[in-house]
Amino acid sequence: MGELDETRRFSGRPEGPNDADRILRRVYQALKDRGYNPISQLAGYLLSGDPAFITSHLEARSLIRRLERDELVEELVRQYVDQLEREPQG
């Protein structure tokens, strides 16, 4: 049972130029431009891996496919946690 009780460490990727942030912002804008709900479309893509959830407008589909889905999830979690840390404690 020992292995199941231990917390694993996820090392992620080294910090550096953040392509995931840049790509997510462009994909978000392309989805909004076309009238899609960006949250739903991105969630569909992240869960399924099907690029059809992402519009080809502004080359969004080809951009998002440059990154692994785990890179995108990591960036989304990073942005969420950064926002939580900026909020006042209370």
Cβ distance 33 to 57 under 8 Å? yes
Our count of domains for the chain comes to 1
User: Which structural domain, as residue segments, surrounds residue 57?
Assistant: 18-86
Distance of CA 10 to the CA centre of its chain: 16
Over 70: is that where the pLDDT of 90 sits?
Answer: no
Question: Within a domain: residue 46?
Answer: yes
Q: Convert the pLDDT of each residue in 18-35 to its tens digit.
A: 899 999 999 999 999 999
- For 16, counting Cβ atoms within 10 Å of its Cβ (0-12 exposed, 13-18 middle, 19+ buried), the class is exposed
Question: Within a domain: residue 74?
Answer: yes
Cβ distance 58 to 77 under 8 Å? no
The pTM of this model reads 0.78
Question: Within a domain: residue 37?
Answer: yes
Q: For 12, phi and psi rounded to 5 degrees?
A: 65, -160
Question: Within a domain: residue 2?
Answer: no
Question: Within a domain: residue 48?
Answer: yes
